[in-house]
Each structure stands twice: as structure tokens, then as C-alpha cells.
Amino acid sequence: MRFSRPLALAAAALLACGVAGCGGGGSGEGGRTPSAGSGAPSGSPSAPTTAPDAWIPARVAKMSVREKVGQLFVPRFSSRADGLAKVRKYHVGGLIYFPENFGSPAGTAAQSNALQKAAKIPLLLGVDEEQGIVSRTPFITRFPGNMALGATRNPADARAAARVTGTELHAVGINLDYAPDADVNVNPRNPVIGLRSFGSDPALASTMVTGAVAGYQDAGVAATAKHFPGHGDTATDSHTGLPVIRHSRAEWERLDAPPFRAAIAAGVDVVMTAHIVVPKLDRSGDPSTLSKTVLTGLLRDELGYRGVISTDSLEMAGVREKYGDAVVPVRAIAAGADQLLMPPSLPRAYNAVLKAVRSGKISEKRLDESVIRILALKQRRGLFQGTAVDPAKARAAIGTAEHRAAARRVAEHAVTLVRNKGGVLPLKGRKVAVSGPGAARLQAALRRRGVATTAAGSADVIVLTTENAGRATAARVRALGPKPVVVAALGRPYDLDAAGGAAAALATYSAGAVSVDALAGVLSGAVRPVGRLPVPAGGRQVGYGSGYR
């Protein structure tokens, strides 16, 4: 089609309003002039006053409707051949990696290169790599998750963790991470967020989200704040049902909105939607992913977000409960979404959107707005300047001594001492028995720290680890008898609410190897506890953390 003056003006305004500048604080890649081979204009560099994205509307105007519709989709792929077929047939804007898509770092890098080579427009190759309990990349340096980072209360730790994660993803050709989680976990029974949240304090979550966004973008990887308008106060998992959150508008402003406002101010590349109903924000009963009131009215118009809006996975029950799989993607675009993540059937979803555009149900102007935003994101992250990575260097970029040291620092900064009656801790000089999940690993780590471990019958102190045991924690403490018990919550710190019978209580927020080693360091006295609670737990409020005298 011809590039009409109204579309040119609208697109220019869209870019000027913040799409081009949305990566402030990021890698600065958007400042380079695209190469001719990318489909961007060739020739001499643009004048200094020309936005680096100024060529995008003209590029979009030359695309076919099929190509533009394809840019909206980021599906799964079962194999390299399947990924290549989806790129070639549907012109998809990206693909999402899952564990089954990874081989070795070198093999993954080569696969990413092959997928990019098949695409006319560079691909957003994404992954859901939050670290902690949501980790899809088998060979990555392991960090504890967001709640552990919240316990450090240090945005520099959040930035360092995200920078390391982003650097390792970038080395294998992944340029988009669906992280960080910006939800404020105010419901201890939340089955889907929990440890994925930085905490229950909106100000703390905002600070840490800002650090994480900067870290990913430092590494040249697009960051995603999720799940808008906020998934932190639900007892229903949106993977299996449709949660309803009863927050008033005032409560939403106070509790849920601040981390998303902070992410937007930090120049976050993508905001992901939540498959939740918030009746006080939209009375339609539609999930927020399909709500124009929430996505366009609230996120775009009120919060001023100009970047890419991605749906959460369209495979999830929360978005499929009310409408069919051919209706959902059309309604999501109409609501204001740009990127359609993981449709259950790509052919069905693609053809539904294509039909909606050709019938006028989705205007071509509305389609162009999304494609412009997606291409602007790709430009901002440097994809039009080249996407190839070096498979021979991929392995060396992962798990470096520097990266492992960063993970160790974060884990040690996170360990939170909530109670220490009678100075039972540190343990050095006592005989210690360990019981519970990960007991063998903790025993070995304690021995490396010089702590003598033994059977419960001959121990002076018993360390009981828990991992999301909840109320059962109290019975487990009682079952250990009269000896002093130290409870260490390796999962959700809410276990400490039922650990009142223990002499001492700590939280690591993670059962990963690096966190267990950090716990051993604190228990032995080699590492001083400095973490502070990011959520209320163990009878203490947010911000509490004890230390050793």
C-alpha cells in the first residue's frame, strides 16, 4: 500500500512520544543507523536531529498485510525445523525458547543464528528467564529469584543479577527476556507469584524493578515488566483459572501501580499483561489482556506507556475461559496489545487476525501502530545492526568466575535472620544435625565451613529446612523434640509464621545451590546475615532483619 500522509503523521507522533526513547538507561543501541541489509534505508548517516527510528514507518508501509500480522506473533517452536517453518510461512516477529529448545551453548547460538538468517526482519528471540523458581535456560548461572533480591534491598544487586543473566542469554542469541516480575505479592496464599515478586512493599518492588530493567538492557537484552495491572493479590493461578482481584482504584494506585510506573520511567521495553479480572478497573468481566479499558485507557493513556505491550501466554486458561482461541488474539489487539505470545494454534490465531484486518474489524492503522512499536523495539536493541552471535564464544561467556561471584554475593546478601533466641547461632563449635529438603546439600556445605554434622540423637542443635511447608512447619518442629531447632525456610518465607517453637529462624527464599551455600555461611558464622524481610513473616514486619553481635 502507499504510505499515506495521515499514517506518516501518526507514526511519527507515535515514535516521538516515547517508542524511540523508551530504552533510556539501556544499552544505547538505538542510536546507530540501521544497515541497508536490514531493510532500513542505506546511505549517509542521518542528521543529528533525525530519530534513529525515523525510517520505520516507511519500512512498515512497504510490508504486506501478511507480513505485518506475522510480526505480532511470538509462538513456541518444537525444533529448529519447526521454528524455521514458522518464520518462513507466517513471518513471525519472534519465537520463545523453552528448555526443550536448548542444546549446548554453542548449539543454541547456532540455532539462534539459523532462525535469524531465515527472517526478513530480525526476530525477537525470547525466554521466560526470571531466575529462581521460573528458569528455562539449563546452562545459565543460577541466581536466587526476585524475593531474595528484595531481601537484599539493594537495586545494585538486582541490576547485577539481571546484567549477568542478560549477558549469558545474549551470548546464545536470545535478545528478549520476559522478566522482571513487577507484581507486589501482598497475598501469602498467592499460588502463582510468591517468590517471583520482589516483595509486598510497592516502594521496594519499584526500586528493584528499576535496577533489573537497567541490568537487562545493559546487556543488550529487552526487559519485560509483568503482569499488568498486577497479579500480586490472588489465590487463583491464571494458568488454570481466571483470577478476580478486588482492589479498588485507590488500592491499585497504592499497591500495584508503583512498580509499573517505575518500569516505564526506567524505559522498559515491554509490559506483559495479566489474565486477571479487576472489576474496579474494568466492569466488563474480561481479563485485562482483552480489556481496552486496562491496556489502552490505563496503561497507554494514563500511565503514558509507549512501548510494546505483550500478552501473557495465550495457552493459559485465564485468557481462554470466556472466549475461543480464534477470538482471543483479535480481542487482544483491539484492546491494545502488540505482541501475541504463545497462541495455542498459530495457524488459527494468525488467520483470525488476518481475517479481522481484511474485514476492517482491526483497522490497518491499528495494525501499523503495533508493527511500528515492535520494529522500534528491535531497532532500539540493535537487531537491525546485526543479530549473529559467535557459537565458539558462547560457552566461555557463561558461568564465568565473575558471574558465579555475583550470584554468591546476591545469595549471601539475601539470607535473613528473623529470630535467634539465646544466641543459638552461629553454629560453629556445636554438633549439628540437619533435617528436611536439601539436607544432604546443606550438611556438606556446613562441613566445608568447619561445622561438625551428626545424627539427631547426638546433636546439640537441629537445623530443619522447609520448602513451602506452611502450617506443617509447626508439627515438624515439635517432632524434633526438646533440642534447640533452627528453621531455615528455603522457599517462601511464610513458613516462618508457623516456626514459633524454633529457637532460631532464617529465610533464604531459594533452595538453589548458591543459596544453600550462603545459608551454610551464615549458620557457621563465616557470613554475617544482612538480609531484611521483603514480606511479613515469622511475626516480623517488612524490613526486619537481625544480625550477629
* Residues designated as active site: 239, 312
DSSP states of 410-478: HHHHH-EEEEEGGG----TTSEEEEESTTHHHHHHHHHHTT-EE--GGG-SEEEEEESS-TTHHHHHHH
DSSP label of 238 = T
- Helix/strand/coil for 11: helix
- Residues 487 and 538 sit within 8 Å (Cβ to Cβ): no
Q: What angle in degrees, to the nearest 10, is found between the helix axes of 202-218 and 155-171?
A: 30
- Separation CA 61–CA 50 (nearest Å): 19
Provide the 8-state DSSP code for 93: S
Rama region for 131: left / alpha / beta (φ>0; ψ in -120 to 50; rest):
left
Rg over alpha carbons for the chain, rounded to the nearest Å, is 24
CA distances 177 to 212, 254, 360, 399, 526, Å, are 11, 27, 33, 18, 35
What does the alpha-carbon distance between residue 415 and residue 545 come to, in Å, rounded to a whole number?
9
Total residue length of the chain: 549
Measure CA of the first residue to CA of the last residue in the chain; give whole Å: 73
500 burial via Cβ count (<10 Å: 0-12, 13-18, 19+): middle
352/327 Cα distance (integer angstroms): 7
Residue bearing cell 532483619: 545
281 strand-pairing partners = none
- What angle (nearest 5°) sits at the alpha carbon of residue 95, between those of residues 91 and 101? 135
What's the angle, vertex CA 187, arms to CA 522 and CA 309, rounded to 5?
A: 100
